[in-house]
Amino acid sequence: MADNDTSTANSADGNAKTRAARSSSASRGSAASRGNTRAAKASEDAMKKQIAELKREVNRLNRALSEQAEEAAGTAHGWYRSAADSASNLYSGASDRASRAASQLRTQAHSVSETVQQNPGTFSTAMLIGGLVGLLAGMAISRSSDPEPDWLRRWHR
């Protein structure tokens, strides 16, 4: 029976050891779990900080791009205004010159018209002489050493 008592004692002692080992491994597992939780929380906090920093950087870049776009728009608007002013000045200058030329032509046409009305015979004579001069010039040009023009020979072949 003594043997029985020792085995029971050993068994009880073994159960206590097993419980102690389980307890210590549980506490180690709990500590490891807490360590993992802390590491995960630290990692999550670091990621949140990086995300917040990236958001600030993106906002800063957006502001910089917006300012550059405003500057470019202002420059383009200035160029447009300058081109529009130049075109307007050119148009008004051309319009003034065209107006003066039309006025001068109108004045000259009126004076020619008055001259023709006052001297119809002179006008008729001038037109007749101009027609004769044109006819003689045409005949002189048409006279050449070749009696038939080249285009006429093509039809006779």
Please tell me the pTM assigned to this model: 0.37
pLDDT in tens, the chain (157 residues): 455 555 554 555 555 556 655 555 555 556 566 778 888 888 888 999 999 999 999 999 999 999 998 998 999 888 989 988 998 998 988 999 999 999 999 999 999 888 888 888 888 898 999 999 999 998 888 776 666 666 666 666 5
Q: Where are the domains of the chain?
A: 2-118, 119-157
pLDDT given at position 116: 81
The secondary element (H helix, E strand) that includes residue 96 is: helix 2-118
Rounded CA gap, 119 and 130, in Å? 17
